[in-house]
Copies of this chain bind each other. A is one copy, B any other.
Amino acid sequence: MGRGKIEIKRIENATNRQVTYSKRRTGIMKKARELTVLCDAQVAIIMFSSTGKYHEFCSPSTDIKGIFDRYQQAIGTSLWIEQQRMGEDLDGLEFDELRGLEQNVDAALKEYHVITTQTETYKKKVKHSYEAYKTLQQELGLREEPAFGFVDNTGGGWDGGAGAGAGAGAAADMFAFRVVPSQPNLHGMAYGGNHDLRLG
């Protein structure tokens, strides 16, 4: 699709690589959007360029987290079935332990969510500001259709996923962010609280 045919192998020239990345990223995002509309499908795409910038696409009426959750559940269900089969050869103890721990973790997540709520209020303010800014930016001449979750971190700001329904989705994001181990911004910060989680 171009003046000449190209081999599918790493483009060594960094500039050309970046240009091709931009063009093809746009193409894939468009295809994804068409697929969701034509075929009533849910699609989530995350991309990181070789320079570390990320871009995303997400079907309307949901967000990346929502689709990833659904994916985990789809994978998890078959995993669990496999494990049940294998469990026939085991004494079943570790599954009981897993279930017990799951209850504890779930309870922890609930408490975590409650405490996060207050912070959510402020998070939403940032998000709404950013979205207002994005809307304005679009009205000033961008042809790209709204109502889709394109995101460009070049703006240095917030997740601009337009389809994301604020509320619970935002809270879930917050948690997922928290659980990521070794969150760099936490280092060197004093902790004075004293929450003792005793669950179950």
Q: Is the interface of A mostly helix, strand, loop or mixed?
A: helix
Given contacts A28-B32, A45-B45, A47-B43, contact A177 B100 (CB under 8 A): no
Task: Output the least CB separation between A129 and chain B (Å).
Answer: 10
A9 located at the interface, meaning its Cβ lies under 8 Å from any Cβ of chain B in the complex: yes
Task: Output the least CB separation between A56 and chain B (Å).
Answer: 7
What count of chain A residues pass the 8 Å CB interface test?
108
Cross-chain contact A11 with B24 (CB below 8 angstroms): no
Report 25 cross-chain contacts, Cβ distance below 8 Å, ordered by A residue.
A10-B37, A10-B40, A17-B40, A28-B32, A31-B31, A44-B44, A44-B46, A48-B70, A68-B68, A73-B177, A76-B176, A76-B177, A79-B158, A82-B126, A86-B122, A90-B122, A98-B116, A99-B186, A99-B191, A101-B108, A102-B183, A104-B197, A105-B112, A106-B181, A196-B200
